[in-house]
A and B are shown apart, each in its own frame.
Chain A
Amino acid sequence: MSIETKSGTGRPQTSGRTRGVALSAVRGLALALVSLPGAVICFCLTVVSIALIPIGVGIVTTSWVLTGVRAFADWRRLLAAEWGGVRIPRAYRPLPEGANPWARTFGMLRDPATWRDVLWLPVDMTAGFVSALLAFALVLYPLEGFVIAAGLWRAWDDTYWYGFVPVTDQITALYAACLGAALLVAAVRLSPLALKAHFRLTGALLGSGQGELAERVRVLTETRRDAVDTSAAELRRIERDLHDGAQARLVAVGMDLGTIEALLEKDPAKARELLAQTRQSSADALTELRELVRGIHPPVLAERGLGDAVRALALRLPVAAEVEVDLPGRADAPVESAAYFAVSETLTNAVKHSGADRIWVDMHYTEGRLRVCVTDNGKGGAVVGAGSGLAGLERRLGTFDGVLAVSSPAGGPTMVTMEIPCALS
Chain B
Amino acid sequence: MRVVLAEDLFLLRDGLVRLLEAHDFEIAAAVETGPELSRALAELEPDVAVVDVRLPPTLTDEGLQCALQARRDRPGMPVLVLSQHVEQLYARELLADGSGGVGYLLKDRVFDAEQFVDAVRRVASGGTAMDPQVIQQLLSRRAAEDRPLERLTPRELEVLELMAQGRTNAAIAGRLVVTERAIAKHTANIFAKLSLEVSDDDNRRVLAVLAYLDRGR
Contact = CB atoms under 8 A, between A and B. Distances in A.
B145 A316 contact: no
The listed residue with most B CB atoms (<10 A of its CB), out of A286, A308, A315, is A315
A357 B53 CA distance: 33
A304 B108 CA distance: 22
B88 A315 contact: yes
Contacts of A294: 85
Given A304-B60, A304-B61, A318-B144, A283 B108 contact: yes
A293 B87 CA distance: 14
Contacts of A308: 89
Nearest to A311: B89
Interface string A285-302: 010001001100001101
Contact of A320 (B89, B140, B216): B216
A286 B53 CA distance: 17
A225 interface: no
B124 to A, nearest CB: 26
Interface residues of B, number: 17
The listed residue with most A CB atoms (<10 A of its CB), out of B53, B61, B87, B140, is B87
Interface in A154-181: none
Given A283-B108, A286-B108, A319 B145 contact: yes
Contacts of B89: 300, 308, 311-312, 315
Interface of B: 53-54, 60-61, 84-85, 87-89, 108, 111, 137, 140-141, 144-145, 216
A353 interface: no
Contacts of B144: 318-319
B84 A290 contact: yes
B85 A290 contact: yes
A293 B54 CA distance: 15
Contact of B61 (A282, A303, A311): A303
Contacts of B85: 290, 293-294, 299
B216 A279 contact: no
A319 B141 CA distance: 7
Contacts of B137: 315-316
Given A302-B60, A317-B141, 4 more contacts: A283-B108, A312-B87, A318-B141, A319-B145
